[in-house]
Amino acid sequence: MKIIKIILLNLLMLCLAFGASLEEDSAGLLTKSFKKKQTIIEELTLNYKDDKRLESLLQKMLVGELLYLKEDKSIVSLESKKEDEYLTTNFFTNVNLEVKSKYDFKKIKINNKLRSVIKSSLAKINLFSSDVDNRFKSAKNLLNNLDKENEALINEALENEKESSVKEVLEEASTILIAKYGTGNEKLEAVKRLGEFLSPKSLEILNQIKETSTNKDIQEATLKSIASIETAKSFYAILEKAFFGLSMGSVLLLAAIGLAVTFGVMKVINMAHGELIMIGAYTTYTIQQIMPGLIEYSIIIAVPAAFIVSGLVGILIERLVIRHLYGRPLETLLATFGISLILQQVVRSIYSPLNQEVKTPQWMSGALEINSALSLTYNRLYIIIFAIIVFLLVLFILNKTSLGLKVRAVSQNREIARAMGIKASWIDAITFGIGSGIAGVAGVALSQLTNVGPNLGQAYIVDSFMVVVFGGVGNLWGTLIAAFTLGEINKFIEPISGAVLAKVIILVFIILFIQKRPRGLFPKKGRDAED
């Protein structure tokens, strides 16, 4: 009889366990004891890791937005608050509750230890998610907050994981735990293998082992692994500098293409070119202000808009001022310098002299992580691709279209082109408009790298002229090579000499280069090329 009672009691307990729900078990979180809360969180993670509500519950708890009503002890989620009034939602039914005083609620409090427990629980929940990104973030979180207690969880995840990127992070975490807590040959092999990983965590653990271990073999293996990581990181640091050099070269290319077209064809020293870049950047800012709900598409809309606006301003400048000064380059320099000051003042009057922030779309945010030592930011990656597309498009227009043929004809010999029936004045206006429009497009790209202000263009006008002169006036391929060359040189010498001295060194280099090759890397060909 006694045995039957015990069996019935166990069956009853089992039924109660199966009948339990997340809502009922979460009621224990209302306790004041942080130790009990920790136990409950661990039990919830174990029993309800497949319940999507648990992740939301822990997230709300982590940021302090999980409360409970004093009158009925129901758990609620804080949606918004205004002065002493709270707008809340019942967490488990998603029913909006009436606005109540903050004194009707009590926060489910946590301390630093519980924060760590919650983060670890969230990592466990996401580690078995169907979403690869969730699993990757979770594995990274586990790696950065590694604990001996997570060893079984990591091993279980490793057995089930198929995605190589996630598996690599989990393998690193597992190797670190063996290197830190293992013994004998197992520890030695783990220490050796840590040299294959490049994360700061592996380097940190290796340095700890170097300081604490007395085993000669482990000491030697540790030093070799540290040296291996440092060598790899140095190599990837060079690649990262090269990437930043490419991104800077892309900006210089976009800024200089328009100048190469106008300077090469019309022999006009346009000191207002930087302000045309600024107009393109402000066009992007204006579009975001007009269409705040279309931030994700604002950059795509801004590209043609900036080209049109800056192009029209360029045509206006050419028709009103520059066409009266052809053949007098110094006077065009002074006139366009005056125009640049006028444009700056106009922008200050319309937008204020303060810098304005242009928002980056979500698809341009973040970085492409190649490995733990190298990541490429998406905004710079897109700008490199965009600059090459613009370059190829301009190259196509100049070499494969009727307009491009006329532009090249005027560029090589203006008088003969006129004699052939080409309207040189019309070509001048269109060419100046295209060059100005490309400058506006450069402003769109720059708005994603820096704040937009009235002096934005001034920082790039001198660099643009240097690129054009170094590459060869009027030669687009020369402009491309010069832009990327100067961008790379600048990024590699900047950490050594500083930003200002780096620009001075580049300027001196170009001056010395021009002494040897006054017409640049790729000089323009034509009967009037010497003019």
CA 361/CA 378 separation, integer angstroms: 11
Who has greater pLDDT, 438 or 421? 438
Q: Which of 162-171, 232-241, 320-329 is the least confident region? A: 320-329
Task: Give Cα separations from 226 to 181, 296, 372, 421 (angstroms).
Answer: 19, 43, 15, 72
State how far Cα 377 lies from the chain centre. Answer: 4
Q: Where are the alpha helices (DSSP H) in 414-475?
A: 414-419, 424-446, 458-471
405: confidence class by pLDDT, cuts 50, 70, 90: confident
Question: Is residue 2 very low, low, confident or very high in pLDDT (cuts 50, 70, 90)?
Answer: very low
Percent of the chain with pLDDT over 70: 93
Provide the mean pLDDT of the chain: 83
Residue 19: pLDDT over 50: no
The region of weakest confidence among 117-131, 153-167, 195-209, 298-312 is 117-131
Give the per-residue pLDDT at 18: 40
CB-CB neighbours of 79 under 10 Å? 12
pLDDT tens, position by position, 175-199:
988 888 888 888 888 888 988 888 8
The closest alpha carbon to 105, from 138, 135, 51, 65, belongs to 65
Mean of pLDDT values over 399-428: 80
**Residue 264 confidence (pLDDT):** 65
Point out the least confidently predicted range of 28-37, 316-325, 512-521: 512-521
pLDDT per residue as tens digits for the range 208-231:
888 888 888 888 888 999 999 999
Read off the pLDDT of residues 251-304 as tens digits, 9 standing for 90 and up. 889 888 888 877 766 777 788 888 999 999 999 999 998 988 888 888 899 999
Helix (H) or strand (E) holding 40: helix 34-47
Instruction: Please enumerate in sequence order all residues whose Cβ is within 8 A of that of 201, keeping only pairs 6 or more positions apart, or say none.
Output: 143, 144, 146, 172, 176
pLDDT digits (tens, 9 = 90+) for 331-347: 888 888 899 999 999 99
pTM above 0.85, yes or no: no
Q: Does residue 16 carry a pLDDT above 80?
A: no
Closest CA to 275 of 473, 130, 461, 23: 461
> Is the distance from CB of 276 to CB of 439 less than 8 angstroms?
yes
Strand runs labelled E in 257-383:
367-371, 374-377
Overall average pLDDT of the 41-66 stretch: 82
Greatest mean pLDDT among 11-25, 81-95, 280-294 lies in: 280-294
DSSP letter assigned to residue 450: S
Average pLDDT over residues 356-385: 86
Grade residue 311 by pLDDT with cuts at 50, 70 and 90.
Answer: very high
* pLDDT of 9 higher than 80: no
Burial class (CB in 10 A: 0-12, 13-18, 19+), 227: exposed
pLDDT in tens, 98-142: 888 888 888 888 888 888 888 778 777 777 777 788 788 888 877
Whether the pLDDT of residue 524 is over 70: the answer is no
Residue 72 has pLDDT above 90, yes or no: no
Single out the residue of 284, 281, 282, 310 nearest to residue 295, CA to CA.
Answer: 284
Q: pLDDT tier at 11 (50, 70, 90 boundaries)?
A: very low
Q: Once rounded to an integer, what is the mean pLDDT over residues 491-510?
A: 81
Residue type at 97? L
The helix (H) or strand (E) run that includes residue 218 is helix 216-266
- Asked if the model's pLDDT at residue 166 lies above 90, the reply is no
Q: With cut-offs at 50, 70 and 90, classify the pLDDT of residue 441.
A: very high
pLDDT at 506 (0 to 100):
81
